Structure 1
């Protein structure tokens, strides 16, 4: 049975990775299509979930790369805006563990220019879940239009938010100032351990979950890299170990986890409302599937999530 449709809203970013140059005093870059919401949309579509992506695509060389990548992955771009502005570029440096540090080139780029008119005509009648986050929720001038769109969508769809804090582009205080409002809109809040450190410095994960539950989020999932994930459903907790895998890099792993979580919930017909039928066992099963998707993404270079059929549950897991 086909899972229900999920609509993702947010940015596409050109992820540029340094490679060996052919001459001294040169820097060679390999560019891959990325961006948190785009990665999530691709991972959802490749998993078999009908996925619509609301994004603003430039007509430049990077925008054409994004469009080809998204369409090849099966993502519905019928509501994508053809933007006049240039694409966003992120240059990634990888450490010895494959973790990426990004520098952004994002001044006046296409991703943040949403208007209410561009979102007003979007038909969500067949959408069970709307997922967004990252810079779409904090970068002006579009952030207010995106928040209004989520508020209008909430009565008919499960709302999922991933803050994906990018302190080089937006000061964490901007995220902190809006987070309680987002929790009031969101049914699912998925964030990383790094995000937690930016949003509630020095706060224990369980305490953070309770804070965000009190603000309105029913399901909070904190991903912790090699330590797996902590999920909290209205204060009931479960920890899920990571899946062991050789790590090439971790780019897109959190986005793939989010996609796996939502895909699994959708497959079991648990999306489409306020998660009233979801139980802790459902959350645990969805997180276990999500860790498999994330591990497979880590096993290849760049944000390249697996296709349907490669995400069978693994018997090998690790707590390390």
Structure 2
């Protein structure tokens, strides 16, 4: 079955990675297009799902980089908004394990200025799923308009949310205050174990899943890095092991996992409603595919998810590595 369109709403971020400079008084940066929702849209499109991205794209040098990257990956930008404000910049430093620590330059940038009028123009008649998350849900002044858009979209589409907590920009208590409302809107809640610790400190993952089920989310998936993922469907749980790979960095891995999950659910015809036909075996298959997609992203530098045409050979390489 060909997957139906998934509409992704959220930010584009210029990820500037530090690199060795010629003198101690210089700082060299390598800039890649990023941002959690943008990464997810790119990954979906490369996997073969029709992906439309709702973004406010600046006309500055970073905005032009975003547009070129998204269009080259096959993302539909027809509903994006040309923005007068500057783009968001994040400077990233990688540790020995490839984990990135970010510092953000995001005050009054284009991504957070959504208005109800802009979002009212979006036609969702061909959309099976709306995915959003990260800063677009909490950064004012646009956060309230985004929430209202999700509430309207929930009458016709599956809703997927990734909180992607960024404590350097927004305090975790802001996310905590809104999370129950997001769960009431969401059919799919995907988050990392780092998000879990910031949202419900000290809470076992299984208990957290039950809390979010009670608030309304039907499928909760917590990704746990090298420990794989925990998926919970209305309280029925399963664990999916991580896929062994040679890690260059982990930037964009969670976004690729989300894309792999939604792509697989879409190709099986589950998206477009409240996931009422979804079973635990279906979740297991989707999570295995998502884990492999994330592993392939970790095997290259930056948020560079795999293309559908590459999946066969690359997945076979991963399978060989797992058996070794």
Q: How far 1:317 moved relative to its partner?
A: 7.4
Q: TM-score under structure 2 normalisation?
A: 0.97
* Cα deviation, residue 20, structure 1: 1.4
Q: Does 1:177 align with 2:171?
A: no
Question: Are 2:319 and 1:315 aligned?
Answer: yes
Return the offset for 1:24: 3.1
Separation in structure 2 between the aligned mates of residue 121 and residue 110 of structure 1, nearest angstrom: 18
Residue of structure 2 equivalent to 1:113: 113
**Structure 1 Cα separation of the partners of residues 301 and 155 of structure 2:** 39
Q: CA deviation at 1:237?
A: 0.3
Q: State the Cα distance separating 1:5 from its structure 2 match.
A: 0.4
- Asked whether the equivalents of residues 243 and 316 of structure 1 are also in contact (C-alpha less than 8 Å), the reply is no
Deviations 1:155-210 (A, max 9, x none): 10000000000000000000000000000000000000000000000000000000
What is the DSSP-based 3-state SS (H/G/I as helix, E as strand, rest coil) of the residue aligned with 1:151?
A: helix
TM-superposed deviation, 1:21: 1.2
Superposition misfits of 4+ residues, deviation over 4 angstroms: none
Residue 272 of structure 1 aligns with which residue?
272
User: How far, CA to CA, are the matches of 2:205 and 2:274 in structure 1?
Assistant: 23
Distance, in Å, in 2 between the alignment partners of 1:194 and 1:24 is: 33
* Corresponding residue SS for 2:135: helix
Give 1 or 2: higher helix fraction: 2
Aligned runs of 1:1-320 on 2, under 5 Å? 1-312=1-312, 313=315, 314-315=318-319
Aligned residue pairs: how many? 318
Provide the rounded CA distance (Å) in 1 between the counterparts of 2:311 and 2:216: 32
Would you say the 8 A contact 1:8–1:37 is kept in 2? yes
Deviations 1:253-274 (A, max 9, x none): 0000000000000000010000
- The offset of 1:316, in angstroms, is 5.2
- Unaligned runs of 5+ residues in structure 2 are none
Unpaired runs of at least 5, structure 1: none
Deviates more, 1:134-143 or 1:303-312: 303-312
State the alpha-carbon separation in 1 of the partners of residues 17 and 24 from structure 2.
Answer: 18
Give the TM-score of the pair, scaled to structure 1.
Answer: 0.98
Question: CA RMSD, aligned part only?
Answer: 0.9
The change in CA–CA distance for 1:199 and 1:316 in structure 2 (over 3 A counts) is farther
